[in-house]
Structure 1
């Protein structure tokens, strides 16, 4: 009768008798060779009378010291990656020394998450190697290599991500290669031990092994898709880097990051009289998305002669700032950027929405150089809790975590013809990691540090500064508290010029023709106040 594990029973018995006789012979020398790959945890079964069953727990690639060492190194790499992942996670809220990135932390965090997931999958399915998993690992390795090349070769992405982003993508690539080699090595070890201990390599799998192969394959395919989407988003970022800023970038805060400053027009009007410069501050979006076009039109029709704006940290072309960043800290950076650009006013401040918080702080700190305040549907400091509530912060953080996948930007570029301008400062700018990170920073300190900054600014605001308030009628009708707070802000100084309510205008008052014309009229009156009074 034949044994299913090798040879006939009679042949195996004869072979066992011969080996036993050889061991009992006085002329046989007993070898004491040092242990090697075939003498680890178990005696050499080739010298045994029978083979083990393939289902025997002793038939394991862990018998090989090379496999055990590989697993120990994989565990070590997992611990290192987890520590790196945790540091980057913390830097989303408070920037540790040396871990600041001028873009956003979401891309490095994304690569760290991919690396950690790759290692965890490898450990979880360590003794169940599969060809599908190796193919997925090979694809991931290739994509990560492309990411590393793009990130390092494009100056803007290299500048924004810094050493943290470069290290994250290179480490992700190295680990992907490691997991690919590990899976192949375990397959070899499994084949080696099965052949040695059972007489042949096992080709069948148990139900549990098939389930493990299925789960590992699905997991690695999902990971490969995620890396592919990150690669597409990185290509979009590299493409957007070709869009030149209309102004100049100036270093601030001890040369940590740069802010974009743009000025247009002349210091004097057509008669040669020097007029104040209108300093614009955007609301929930950058100045470029709305107020920029309005200011350009105001110069063309003679309402104003010159305007400037500084993109807040993380908006449009400006870098992000280290966390935490309060409104007062942002204003100090904006003031420094203006000083480096040689712009010293005098100013008429025009801002909208939450941007009015920043303008008010600027006005209180530079009041003697401010000739007027134009607040468009302003946010009251007591409503900053609507900006800083916890669930909004969590939503922003979650959006930031998935932003490297480009789930909105990639389809927008492919199917909706979104342009570079749309993504940098236009209608798709809110989808970028920088913008999301800036709003998350704003959320984290809105009801604490920023609220304190604007409260103190109200106490020291010069009371003779001319003030004009333009409110959204639609917003007031929807929210009675908003009307109450608008009324309170009308008393911000003792020199209220006008308080206008544009009936059909939304929060972005300039979106309607009536609102746009009224804003241009009121800013003209503030700029030309010596010449035109009602």
Structure 2
């Protein structure tokens, strides 16, 4: 268990939130990607004055709920959590991967409560318009295989524990141990949270209306996605990454105050953990 944060009552559940107050404004709220939790952003938070970490229901140290969930349900839940925790808005929403969908949905639903958007290697409902034609087959194969994965063996857990020790070297010992145990035991949550991309999330964002006129910054992971590398050859992976870069540039071009930045060498899943300075710098550019 982590020594940080508190559980706050939101409806019939309790949600974990850790707030580091500071002099900077607006407050930043980090929305983790699928499989990640608030504590994965701890190094970024400690470089970012006035920042909030939290676990949405069904993840981390918050109450369990059936997964997957709609983007609107997650956004409405976060809004109430911020109210209960006394976090005044408007806020900057910093969403990674799946969390970027939730951040955009929040901005669609509650535009007056958002001061800026930081989208960290986000997906998009029109992603296949930018990817090579083979990407649809690749996506289906990844979903099929990751949905049928067996439990980790003792040897896999041993190797992963060593990798997590390096990944979270900057984290305090209690939080490092808590994160390692969580990711080893609850890794299937990443699969469960993303089951409704094609059937619900994409449709929600398409029908949700425009984003508010606030500063938006998109960070693109400059390194290759290791999951794609496992399933596809180097040529397809390179073309897919070029498509993601083009998609992110299009997202920025679609708003009045958009900015795009590539984080060299960053991998999609670990960008928030391994490049906290890049995230803190991006937040500082979104603040007035």
Place the TM-score, normalised by the shorter chain, in its bin: 0.7 to 0.9
Residue 260 in structure 1 maps to residue 13 in structure 2: no
TM-score between both structures, scaled by the size of structure 2: 0.75
Q: What is aligned with 1:146?
A: none
For residues 424 and 406 of structure 1, the distance between their equivalents in structure 2, rounded to whole angstroms, comes to 18
**C-alpha deviation, 1:364, in angstroms:** 1.4
Q: What is aligned with 2:126?
A: 382
**Higher fraction of helix:** 1
Q: What is aligned with 2:37?
A: 286
Can you list the C-alpha shifts for 1:48-79, whole angstroms capped at 9, x where unaligned? xxxxxxxxxxxxxxxxxxxxxxxxxxxxxxxx
Can you list the C-alpha shifts for 1:246-303, whole angstroms capped at 9, x where unaligned? 1111233x41x3221111113x45xxxxx210111122422322x221221233xxxx
Q: What is aligned with 1:73?
A: none
1:52-67 to structure 2, matched below 5 A, reads none
Q: Cα–Cα, structure 1 residues 386 and 448, in superposed 2: closer, same or farther, change >3 Å?
A: farther
For residues 387 and 367 of structure 1, the distance between their equivalents in structure 2, rounded to whole angstroms, comes to 35
**C-alpha deviation, 1:432, in angstroms:** 1.6
Q: Is the 8 A contact 1:259 1:334 kept in 2?
A: no
**C-alpha deviation, 1:448, in angstroms:** 1.0
For residues 253 and 67 of structure 2, the distance between their equivalents in structure 1, rounded to whole angstroms, comes to 33
Q: Is the 8 A contact 1:356 1:378 kept in 2?
A: yes
Q: Is the 8 A contact 1:469 1:499 kept in 2?
A: yes
Highest Rg: 1 or 2? Answer: 1
**C-alpha deviation, 1:430, in angstroms:** 2.8
**C-alpha deviation, 1:422, in angstroms:** 4.3
TM-score between both structures, scaled by the size of structure 1: 0.43
1:343-354 to structure 2, matched below 5 A, reads 343-354=87-98
Q: Is the 8 A contact 2:20 2:52 kept in 1?
A: yes
Can you list the C-alpha shifts for 1:218-263, whole angstroms capped at 9, x where unaligned? xxxxxxxxxxxxxxxxxxxxxxxxx2451111233x41x3221111
Residue 500 in structure 1 maps to residue 261 in structure 2: yes
**C-alpha deviation, 1:483, in angstroms:** 1.7
Picking from 276, 279, 283, the partner of 1:519 is: 279
For residues 387 and 260 of structure 1, the distance between their equivalents in structure 2, rounded to whole angstroms, comes to 35
Q: Cα–Cα, structure 1 residues 432 and 420, in superposed 2: closer, same or farther, change >3 Å?
A: farther
Q: Is the 8 A contact 1:353 1:377 kept in 2?
A: yes
Q: What is aligned with 1:337?
A: 81
1:428-439 to structure 2, matched below 5 A, reads 429-433=182-186, 435-436=187-188, 438-439=189-190
Gaps of 5+ in 1: 1-242, 270-274, 300-305, 530-534
Q: Is the 8 A contact 1:471 1:509 kept in 2?
A: no
Picking from 443, 464, 485, the partner of 2:194 is: 443
**C-alpha deviation, 1:309, in angstroms:** 2.2
For residues 517 and 439 of structure 1, the distance between their equivalents in structure 2, rounded to whole angstroms, comes to 25
For residues 127 and 221 of structure 2, the distance between their equivalents in structure 1, rounded to whole angstroms, comes to 16
Can you list the C-alpha shifts for 1:86-141, whole angstroms capped at 9, x where unaligned? xxxxxxxxxxxxxxxxxxxxxxxxxxxxxxxxxxxxxxxxxxxxxxxxxxxxxxxx
For residues 281 and 417 of structure 1, the distance between their equivalents in structure 2, rounded to whole angstroms, comes to 21
Q: Is the 8 A contact 2:44 2:277 kept in 1?
A: no
**C-alpha deviation, 1:486, in angstroms:** 1.1
1:369-518 to structure 2, matched below 5 A, reads 369-383=113-127, 389=140, 392=143, 395-396=146-147, 398-399=149-150, 402=151, 408-409=156-157, 411=158, 421-422=175-176, 424-426=178-180, 429-433=182-186, 435-436=187-188, 438-457=189-208, 459-462=209-212, 464-475=213-224, 478=238, 479-496=241-258, 498-507=259-268, 508-509=270-271, 516-518=276-278
* Paired positions, count: 259
Q: Is the 8 A contact 1:347 1:370 kept in 2?
A: yes
For residues 292 and 380 of structure 1, the distance between their equivalents in structure 2, rounded to whole angstroms, comes to 26
Can you list the C-alpha shifts for 1:455-488, whole angstroms capped at 9, x where unaligned? 233x2322x1111122223349822221221122
For residues 288 and 460 of structure 1, the distance between their equivalents in structure 2, rounded to whole angstroms, comes to 31
SS at 2:194 equivalent: helix
For residues 264 and 161 of structure 2, the distance between their equivalents in structure 1, rounded to whole angstroms, comes to 39
RMSD value over aligned CA atoms? 3.4
Q: Is the 8 A contact 1:388 1:442 kept in 2?
A: no
Q: Is the 8 A contact 2:71 2:101 kept in 1?
A: yes
SS at 1:430 equivalent: helix
For residues 29 and 137 of structure 2, the distance between their equivalents in structure 1, rounded to whole angstroms, comes to 26
Q: Is the 8 A contact 1:388 1:444 kept in 2?
A: no
Q: Is the 8 A contact 2:8 2:84 kept in 1?
A: yes
Q: Is the 8 A contact 1:346 1:370 kept in 2?
A: yes
